[in-house]
Every structure is written in structure tokens, then in C-alpha cells.
Amino acid sequence: YLTLLEEHGVTLDEQQMAAATAIEGPLLVLSGAGSGKTRVLTVRTAYMITVRKVDPKTIMLVTFTAKAAKEMKERLLSYPGISASAVNQLVSGTFHSVFYKILIFHEPEKWQRNLLIKWNWEKEKIVKNAGRDYGLDEKEFAYDSALQQIGLWKNSLLFPEDIKPIDDWEIACAYLYKKYEEYKQKTMMYDFDDMLVGCYSLLKSRSDLLEKYKRRFQYFLVDEFQDINKVQYELIKMLSSGSNNLCVVGDDDQAIYSFRGSDPSFILHFEKDYPAVKIVKLTENYRSAHEIVATANRIIKGNQSRMDKAMRAQHNFSEPAVLFFPYDEELEATMIVTDIQEKVALGARPSDFAILYRTHSMSRAIFERLAASSLPFVIDQDAESFYERRIVRGMLAFLRLSMQPQDPRAAAAILSPLFLKQNVLQEMKAQTILRDCDFIDTFSFVKTGLAFQERKLKALPAKIRSLRNVKPIIALEIVEKDLGYQDFVKKRGTEGNIEKGSDDIRDLKVAAKQFETIGEFLDHADHMIGMNKEVKQLSKHFTDAIQLTTIHRSKGLEYKTVYVLSAVEGSIPHDFALDSYRKGDVVPLEEERRLMYVAATRASLGLYFSIPQTRRGKKAFPSRFLKFY
């Protein structure tokens, strides 16, 4: 069969072959990016089905993203001797999807789709309610970080009663955790973390079910094993303890999900928990050109804590990685789009290209350039438009109001930046009718009981009206400094939030510079919000398109040409990691370096690092991870 596969264009080297065909017993494949780990899993599955006649229903194949699962199935389908029905019978997908299927089968009433808490803001609302009773300040307390902490505990199988808090922060988080769990129990709701923990509890408490599934599943394959967390590890361990046929593949240098509780030390556990484990190390890189492999190796070498792995490139033709230095974010986007256009004109396909960034919010300029070009491109389904971000929306509301002084929606949007309560709106509505004036004028009549505030409000309508006569960038400066938006961002946020908030303001100012009038700028913002929805819709159907995505989500994928946006200090490595580093903690910085490594290793032929000379209006410095250049 393997010869047949080879004729089909799917070759394996000797080590890969050994890994693909040793289907009995525990096996760990540990090796660098592009060494064919995922290919080994795919061929192994095909080999089991066709040669060893394993019933596909007994194979559980776990990938890190739904996209990866889909891709693997498509690959399998293209192999000889693999029928569509065999592929459909495989139990494959992400941890969540695989275990959710088990849950819904046994406890359908408990795990209904409509009871799922999907979004972070929903969770935040729940813990904020609990926090209020506890006396936490809604604005000062970092609820988002608390939720992250709760998730970490949960994924590590630590329940509220297990938490032994060590400081005030953990005491507060433990309290919120308990309340959050109680809330979900009362309302019968659940979140994504509950799916895995729920399945774990179900199998723990029902030995009959556990036995059933231990018999049902005979073979386990797990991709991206370095990012597994405790509950996932335990689930797999539990189910595979009967057959012991477990193959996991991973690369400790690509562990980038520690904020979700993933922990590469499970690789070390693995050797302890499965003493009979066979370890295969793949050493050839089949994905990337020689120079790209060399660059990636140099990047990752800077990390202290890692298993040493040397990678040899199979591709000898050498395209060196390229650094380019645009003046700012706008030119960065222009240069990339122009470069892609030239390459497409020469015959490249749009799907050959990926543009990767550290955080989604950095994609504003590139999104706009691509939207203005005729190149097809796709974005992540949960990617929000830059102009919909809370801080950005709030600031733009001032500009909108200057153009449309009678617009109550825009007026409502600026109440909280002005530290006014929402109920003031009723009063203002009444005043517009009473006095027959524009909405905006009623700010002068708002009674807050604070003389200095009322004085400020009196001057407000004229100030806002005057915005329409200046350039957008000037108007934003006025809103920020004179109308108190900066204070709002400062007062509203916790430490982390202020940072994010001021970043948004700075990004918005960079965008505004391109426009002469407020009208044009606002039209542009509306247009971009619309485009964002449209592109997302199209993203579901496009097959040949440029990929815009975060580095995190690009894991496991490969593209001919990769552009890494803003490879500068503060971006990669991110500011928060630099902060920790200054305080003596090197761990977050090492994870940032792994991110850079993941980004670099997505490329097969062309790798471009963009290093803007200024970012958010300030001088920027090349990422320390590229220091060898």
C-alpha cells in the first residue's frame, strides 16, 4: 500500500514509515515544524484502514482546529483505497467536537446548544454580577484576566473546592469561580470548558460507559500534542488505557497556548505514564526552503528551555528570508499588497499567500488595502472590524455627532465617555421636544449636580459642532484631550485595558491621517464595517484566496509565501511579555519566541518580515528575535 501511496505522490522517509506503521502500543513523534508529523498521522490512518483492516469507527483522530480536521479528511479522501464512508466513520475533530458528541448522546437534555455560553462578554457579565456583591470595583478589577484564571483552573481539573488561593487576587478569582459555577448550575447553562470537564466527569462516574468507550475506541491519534491541557490529557489517557494504542505527535517549540492551560510538560508525563512508549524523532524538514529552515532554527535557538532538535532542510533551493522596512503601518500594508499583486500577475495564486499577525487588531491597514484591491482574501469568522472595537466606536461617535447633531444613537454612545448615566438620555430626549433643538444641544441642560461638570457640558455642543470643520486627525486629538476621552479610557480600564484602549486610540489616529474630512473618514469606517461582514461571508466559500489570520491560528498550516506583520518590539514580543521579562520572568518571552518560530515555519518558499520604522506614531525597533540579521 505504501508503494501505491508513493506512486500517488505521498512518499515517506524511513523514520516516518516506522511511525506510520507501528500501530500497536504507545508512540510519541517529537520533531520540528514541517517534518511531516501531520502527514504521518494521515498516512497512519489510511494504512490502518486499508492494510490492517481496522474499522474506522474505532479510530479517534484529534486535531487542534476544525480547519485542520477538515484538511486531514480531504487528504485522506484523496488517497487510494479510502472511501468517503470510511472517512465519515472516523471519529475525528477537535477535542471539543469529539467529546461533545459523546456528551450529547448520553445527556441530550443537559447539553442543548442553546444553553451554551459562547462569548467572553457573556461570561464577563456573570462574574461582574458576582463581583459586585463581593465588593470588587467594576472598572478597576481585571475581569478578563480573572476569567482566564478560572479557565486555567478548570482545564487543569481544579474545581472551586480544590483552590488554595495564595494571594488577594487568587482569593477574588476563587470566589468568582465558585459563583460562576453556581450560576451555571442554577441556570443549567454551560461553556466550552464544561464540555471537556463534563465528559471527564461522566466517564469517571459511569464505569459502564467508560468500559463501553474503551472497547469502542481502539486507536488514538493526537496532533499538536504540545498544546494539550490536563483535562484533555486525562480524557485520552482514560479512554486509551484499554487498548494502549495511542500515537501522539508534537513539537515543544510550537507550544503557544499556555494561556489556555496547555503544558508541554505532558510530553514528559507521557514517557512516565506509558513506559513502553516508542519515541520517533523526525529530522528532515520537507516544507521549507533551506534558508527559511535556517532562519527558523536561529529564531528558536534563543530559547533556554527546550529539547534540542536539529532540522535539516530537504529543499535545497534557497530563497533567503526577507526583511523590509516600511515607514509605518499604512506603507507596510501597501508594500505587501503591491508585492502580492506583482506575484499574482506573474502566475502565483492568491491562496499561496498568508499574512500573519500577533493580534487581530493589527490587521486594520492590511484589511483596507486588500479590500481596495481586486485580490480575493479571507479572514477569521470571529474577526471583528477595527471600527467596531469599543474604544474606536466611542471615539467615532463624537465625530458622528458633529456631523449629525440630531442623532440620538451617537449621543447615547458618548454618555459614558462623559461620565453621564444612561438615564440622562430620557431627560435629553424630553428636552429636544420641549425646546425644539438638536439632540446635541440638550447636553447644555443636563443637570448632574456637579457645577464643574455642568459647566463643561454647557460648552460641549459648540465644541462638538466645531469638530466638523477640522481634519479627522485634529478632531480625534480634541476628542481625546479636550473632551475627556483619554480620562475615560484611563478611568474605565484596569491596567491591561488602559494599554489596549490607548493602543486603539493610537491606531485610529494612524487611520485618520489618510482623510481630509470627517465625512470621508466616517464613510470609510462604515464601508469597512460592511466589508468586514461581507468578507466573512465570502470567507466561507472562497477556495483560492489570501489568508489573513493570527499566528496562533496558522498553526499546522503551510503557505508558499508568508508575510509577518510588524515584527517589532512590543508586537512580537508583545508588550506584556516584555513587562514580565523586565520583572524577571522569562517564561512569557519564550512563548513569544515560539510564536515567531511558528510564524516563520509556515512558509515554504518565501518568508517576509515587515519591520515598520514607526508604529502607532512612535519609533519602532526590530524584534529581538530577529537580532541575528
Q: Is the dihedral of CA 178, 181, 184, 186 positive or negative?
A: negative
Q: Is 31 known to sit in a ligand binding site?
A: yes
Q: Is 38 known to sit in a ligand binding site?
A: yes
- CA-nearest of 236, 188, 240, 192 to 214 is 240
36 binds Mg ion (CB under 5 A): no
Which residues lie across from 603 on neighbouring strands? 559
Listed in sequence order, the residues at least 6 apart from 397 whose beta carbon sits closer than 8 Å to its beta carbon are 410, 413, 414
399 CB neighbour count, 10 Å cutoff = 24
Considering only 31, 38, 226, 549, the residue that binds Mg ion (CB under 5 A) is 38
Spatial separation of the C-alpha atoms in residues 182 and 170, rounded to whole Å? 18
Considering only 13, 71, 407, 438, the residue that binds ligand ATP (CB under 6 A) is 13
Q: Is 32 known to sit in a ligand binding site?
A: yes
* Interface segment toward Mg ion; rule CB under 5 A; list 164-172, 320-328, 545-553, 554-562: 554-562
* Interface segment toward ligand ATP; rule CB under 6 A; list 27-35, 262-270, 381-389, 503-511: 27-35
* Interface segment toward Mg ion; rule CB under 5 A; list 33-41, 89-97, 265-273, 496-504: 33-41
36 binds ligand ATP (CB under 6 A): yes
71 binds ligand ATP (CB under 6 A): no
Q: Are 215 and 209 in contact (CB under 8 A)?
A: no
Considering only 5, 20, 28, 33, the residue that binds ligand ATP (CB under 6 A) is 33
- 280 or 572: CB nearest ligand ATP: 280
Maximum Cα–Cα distance for the chain, whole Å? Answer: 86
Spatial separation of the C-alpha atoms in residues 248 and 226, rounded to whole Å? 9
Binding mask 232-261 for ligand ATP (x = CB under 6 A): -------------------x--x-------
For the CA atoms of 428, 431, 435, 436, the dihedral, rounded to the nearest 10 degrees, stands at: 60
16 binds ligand ATP (CB under 6 A): yes
* Distance set, CA 200 to CA 108, 138, 193, 239, 265 (Å): 16, 34, 11, 10, 21
- 250 or 350: CB nearest Mg ion: 250
Give the relative orientation of helices 518-539 and 364-372 as an angle to the nearest 10 degrees.
80
Spatial separation of the C-alpha atoms in residues 505 and 476, rounded to whole Å? 9
* Interface segment toward Mg ion; rule CB under 5 A; list 32-40, 118-126, 137-145, 286-294: 32-40
Spatial separation of the C-alpha atoms in residues 410 and 393, rounded to whole Å? 10
Q: Is 584 known to sit in a ligand binding site?
A: no
Residue type, 381: Q
Q: Is 33 known to sit in a ligand binding site?
A: yes
Q: Is 184 known to sit in a ligand binding site?
A: no
Q: Which positions from 242 through 271 interact with Mg ion, judged by CB under 5 A? A: none
3-state secondary structure of 354: strand
Spatial separation of the C-alpha atoms in residues 437 and 440, rounded to whole Å? 8
Q: What is the CA radius of gyration of the chain?
A: 27
Q: Is the dihedral of CA 406, 409, 415, 421 positive or negative?
A: positive
34 binds ligand ATP (CB under 6 A): yes
Spatial separation of the C-alpha atoms in residues 61 and 240, rounded to whole Å? 12
From the CB of 289, what's the least distance to ligand ATP, in Å? 12
From the CB of 241, what's the least distance to ligand ATP, in Å? 27
Q: Which positions from 167 through 186 interact with ligand ATP, judged by CB under 6 A? A: none
* Interface segment toward Mg ion; rule CB under 5 A; list 12-20, 132-140, 479-487, 555-563: 555-563
91 CB neighbour count, 10 Å cutoff = 18
Considering only 298, 558, 560, 614, the residue that binds ligand ATP (CB under 6 A) is 558
Spatial separation of the C-alpha atoms in residues 441 and 445, rounded to whole Å? 8
3-state secondary structure of 28: strand
- 37 or 123: CB nearest ligand ATP: 37
Q: Are 430 and 503 in contact (CB under 8 A)?
A: no
264 binds ligand ATP (CB under 6 A): no
Residue type, 42: T
Considering only 556, 573, 606, 612, the residue that binds Mg ion (CB under 5 A) is 556
Count of residues that interact with ligand ATP, criterion CB under 6 A: 18
286 binds ligand ATP (CB under 6 A): yes
405 binds Mg ion (CB under 5 A): no
12 binds, among ligand ATP, Mg ion, none (CB under 5 to 8 A by kind): ligand ATP
Q: Is 262 known to sit in a ligand binding site?
A: no
From the CB of 467, what's the least distance to ligand ATP, in Å? 49
* Angle ∠(358,499,611) on CA atoms, nearest 5: 40
From the CB of 38, what's the least distance to Mg ion, in Å? 3
Which residue's beta carbon is nearest to the bound Mg ion?
38
Considering only 23, 30, 37, 353, the residue that binds ligand ATP (CB under 6 A) is 37
Considering only 20, 23, 30, 39, the residue that binds ligand ATP (CB under 6 A) is 39
DSSP secondary structure letters along 281-321: ---EEEEEEHHHHHHHHHHHHT-SSS-----EEEE------
67 binds ligand ATP (CB under 6 A): no
* Interface segment toward ligand ATP; rule CB under 6 A; list 9-17, 213-221, 394-402, 443-451: 9-17
Q: Is 86 known to sit in a ligand binding site?
A: no
Q: Which positions from 596 through 625 interact with ligand ATP, judged by CB under 6 A? A: 601
Q: Which residue has the cell 467529546?
A: 99
C-alpha cell at 7: 506512486
- CA-nearest of 455, 460, 451 to 411 is 460
Residues in the annotated binding site: 31-38
Residues in the annotated binding site for ATP: 31-38
Binding residues vs Mg ion (CB under 5 A): 37-38, 556
Binding residues vs ligand ATP (CB under 6 A): 11-13, 16, 33-39, 251, 254, 286-287, 556, 558, 601
